[in-house]
Amino acid sequence: MKRTNIILAVILILAATLIRIFNQEMHWYNLAPLASLGLFSGAIIKDKRIAFSVTLIAQFISDIYIALFTQYQGFYGVDQFFVYGGMLLVTLLGTGMGQPKALKVFGYSIMGTAIFFLVSNFGVWVKIEATGDIFGYGTGLKGLGTTFLMALPFYSKMGTTLFFNSFLGDIIGSGVLFGAYALLRQPLASRLQKA
């Protein structure tokens, strides 16, 4: 089964990397379902070292692409550690899912996206505290509150887009990943065992 885990991990990394690069090039920010990838990896891949690596590797490869081939920074500062940390927490959440059922996957997807949203935006506040208030949010607890407020849906067009895209991308991504896995699990496992 280790071979199955590795093959599944490679397919997931390639797919997630390509989807994130495509989303970046099309300016569909936060629509790439990386949190759902972490959730799926944590729930399905038995070797947890591989499960925790999948999302991080996909994020890292796409960050390299963004840094080298777009006008955006692929690596942008201390807050990026919180992005990676949020992905690890979502993968950890996935390890506790148990048997994936449709309603459970939906609930876990919402929780995973919310965890990622909170952790990554907390990272923005840490960056403000460490490097100065470049966004005009303020510092201290007021700055923390403003950072989360500015990221909430319906507060600003950009905040709405990022927040909505995150949930939409992860809910659709989880549906596709868990649905495809449910449909292909038996045929794929039997073919890999014969190979």
pLDDT digits (tens, 9 = 90+) for 130-189: 988 888 889 999 999 988 888 775 455 555 566 677 788 888 888 888 888 888 776 655
What's the predicted TM-score (pTM) here? Answer: 0.83
d(CA 191, CA 21): 31
Model pLDDT for residues 22-49, shown as the tens digit of each residue: 877 777 766 677 788 899 999 998 889 9
Return the number of other C-beta atoms located less than 10 Å from residue 27's C-beta.
8
Q: Give first-to-last CA distance, the chain, whole Å.
A: 12
Compute the Cα dihedral for 95, 166, 72, 27 and give only its sign. positive
Residues sharing a CB contact under 8 Å with residue 93, sequence separation 6 or more, in sequence order: 38, 39, 42, 108, 111, 112, 115
